[in-house]
Chains A and B, each alone.
Chain A
Amino acid sequence: MGRALINVPAKAKRGEIIEIKALVSHPMETGYRTGPDGTLVPRDIIQRFVCTYNGEEVFSADLFPAIAANPFIAFTTVATESGTITFRWIDDQGRGQIETAKITVE
């Protein structure tokens, strides 16, 4: 897969609600589009996104072809403790991409 952009605050107060933004470059080919030769371009989308905070799942999403190319998702979570926030995108072939971000909670 492609490049991922993640926006997580580096520092947060304990119990603070932080906003997380995640974007990954991916064509999100719907399978409904015709290519230059007139045949349908095969479907190839990211169908699942999972965010874990120190190993515990805090947010996930099932995506369909109606999600725009380079899927962008913004959501919130409570900053509970310092550690690692992990992002995983999984496509139709079951291939995944993993990115991580560190957060310091004081």
Chain B
Amino acid sequence: MARLDGMRANRRDVLAAGAGALSLLLTRPARATPESMAVAIRSFVGEATVQKGRVALDIPALVENGNSVPLKVTVESAMTSDDFVKTIAIFNERNPQPNVANFHLTPRSGRAEVSTRIRLGDSQTIVAIAQLSDGTFWSDQAELVVTLPACVES
């Protein structure tokens, strides 16, 4: 009899744990979507059109660990005082927020080149947009697959 009670308690525990896990899933924060990335890009470029080219986004196509992914952006530019890259902005589709980073360069940068390490919550497309001093915007994008996404386990 005592043994039966014990089993009941176990079953209850299992159910409670299941409900707990479910509520955890339900309270997971919302993800960014391709639409929210488009909104973030729009707020960065304003009314200007974004042209393809001049920007090279270097990021591995297959990522094993989404917690730290090396990323490098290079922009073709003379980097003189009247023709230089002002900002390089990085956007993503499926992390909780569409923005990754904005890098502000100056003619004293010498080269339009920046590297960092980012987090990826899922397989997705990454977009890099460069704002030049003449007001034009140029972009490059990369699709990648993530085997172990960031922020799955606590």
Interface residue ranges, A against B (CB under 8 Å): 17-18, 30, 32-36, 38, 40-41, 53, 56-69, 71-78, 80
Is B14 at the interface (CB under 8 A from chain A)?
A: no
Q: Specify which chain B residues have a CB less than 8 angstroms from the CB of A58 in the assembled complex.
A: 106, 108-109
Size bracket, chain B contacts: 20 to 34
Expressed in whole angstroms, the Cα–Cα distance for A74 and B113 within the complex equals 8
Expressed in whole angstroms, the Cα–Cα distance for A80 and B110 within the complex equals 11
- Closest chain B residue to A15 by CB distance? B110
B100 touches A64 (CB 8 A): yes
- Closest chain A residue to B29 by CB distance? A32
B113 touches A71 (CB 8 A): no
Is B68 at the interface (CB under 8 A from chain A)?
A: yes
A64-B99, A68-B118 known; A78-B69 Cβ under 8 A: no
A77 touches B110 (CB 8 A): yes
